[in-house]
Amino acid sequence: MPVASEARLLVFHGLRLGGFVEPEVVAARYGLPTAEVAELLSSALDAGLARRRDGRVSGWLLTAEGRTEGEQLLAAELDAADARPAVAAAYERFMQINKELLAACTAWQVRDEGAGTLNDHSDAAYDAEVIARLGEIDAAVQPICAELAATLGRFGSYGPRLAEARARVEGGDIDWFTKPMIDSYHTVWFELHEDLLATLGIERSTEGDG
């Protein structure tokens, strides 16, 4: 059975992954009661671990101390579940196809990278070729997502979200390939990558070093 994360960890992790997040978003992502998320955020605010920002972009975010607290919770969960080897192996497999996904996203946006020619999606054959590449990438990453979800339950949304984005792209909704601010394929992929880094305690800036 996959390990079920504690609510406090999920709230800290939701803020880590989302940046500026409303309680309802965290609650929906992890199946938590919104009132419980709000209560945990209030406690984090009092402890100096989170803060609220309102304005053009509103939401909750972690302080530096809150980010450290979240990392400690992740490490403790990983070791208590003896899940580090499985997650590390999944991460290595993910990284083997990460460059392929990034290249496909670039090809979707730019037809001639050297000349900077944007893809205006007027060439159906070209787009179909890139979408086929996305299908191959998705087929490779879905087993990784399934293995992660079988280890730690909080990884369970990634496979379905990636599949949904792929289906939308294949159905003709081109925004669902790379558009930010929605659950596009690239958005979900980036979040999964960040989730793996956070879980394993790897800084993105030093990724691949050593």
pLDDT at 208: 61
pLDDT at 206: 72
Q: Which of 38-42, 96-100, 161-165, 204-208 has the lowest mean pLDDT?
A: 204-208
Query: CB atoms < 10 A from the CB of 167, how many?
Result: 12
| % of the chain beyond a pLDDT of 70 | 97
Model confidence at 209: pLDDT above 80: no
CATH number listed for the domain at residues 7-80: 1.10.10.10
Q: Pairing relation of β-strands 110-112 and 117-118?
A: antiparallel
Model confidence at 204: pLDDT above 90: no
Model confidence at 210: pLDDT above 70: no
Tokens of 45: 């605010």
Q: How does residue 58 score in pLDDT terms, banded at 50, 70 and 90?
A: confident
**Mean pLDDT value of segment 62-86:** 95
- Which DSSP string do the residues of 103-133 spell out, in sequence order? HHHHHHHEEETTTTEE--S--HHHHHHHHHH
The mean pLDDT value of the chain amounts to 94
Listed by start position, the domains of the chain span 7-80, 84-206
Which of 55, 45, 44, 48 minimizes the C-alpha distance to 7?
44
Tokens of 96: 């083997």
**Residues 120-158 pLDDT 10s:** 999 999 999 999 999 999 999 999 999 999 999 999 999
